[in-house]
Amino acid sequence: MANTYHQVYLQVVFAVKYREAVIADEWRSTLLGVIGNLINETGCKTIIVNGVEDHVHCFLGLKPTVSISELMKTVKAKSSKYINDHSLTSSRFEWQEGYGVFSYSHSQMGAVYKYIANQEDHHKRQSFHDEYLDFLNKFEIPFDARYTFEDLI
């Protein structure tokens, strides 16, 4: 669109269903690359994608004509299909329903990039559960803890 300028930076965080630790080191970087490519295919711009065995962080520049919900629907559906089509897990893979999305200014890009790049070290000190609740509290997002995480029954 002519004369449309934008700067929308988002961090999106989503988890494996039941927060199972099934994203293996052997194929994690491939999956993260797939997710980054899926983001780019929508016209958004991947800045960094990283994660650990039970969740993923995506830092991206959002294209204003793309809705966050449609972006995440596409990324989660196509990345889980990739995992299942390539039999990367012993059972059917699914992402947990929902996601967290947090916005940042241009001046925060370096800090967010570094935070996401260092996920492995970060999660030696803090669980994903605590990290996620910290994000919700830091951004003052009201939530009901009963619906924050889906537990294995």
DSSP of the chain: -TT-----EEEEEEEBGGG-----HHHHHHHHHHHHHHHHHTT-EEEEEEEETTEEEEEEEPPTTS-HHHHHHHHHHHHHHHHHHTT-SSS---BPS--EEEEE-GGGHHHHHHHHHTHHHHTTTS-HHHHHHHHHHHTT----GGGTSPPP-
Using the predicted structure, report yes or no on whether residue 130 has a pLDDT greater than 70.
Answer: yes
Q: What predicted TM-score, i.e. pTM, was given to this entire model?
A: 0.92
| pLDDT of residue 147 exceeding 70 | yes
The domains found in the chain, sorted by start residue, are 9-141 (3.30.70.1290)
Q: What is the mean pLDDT of residues 112-141?
A: 94
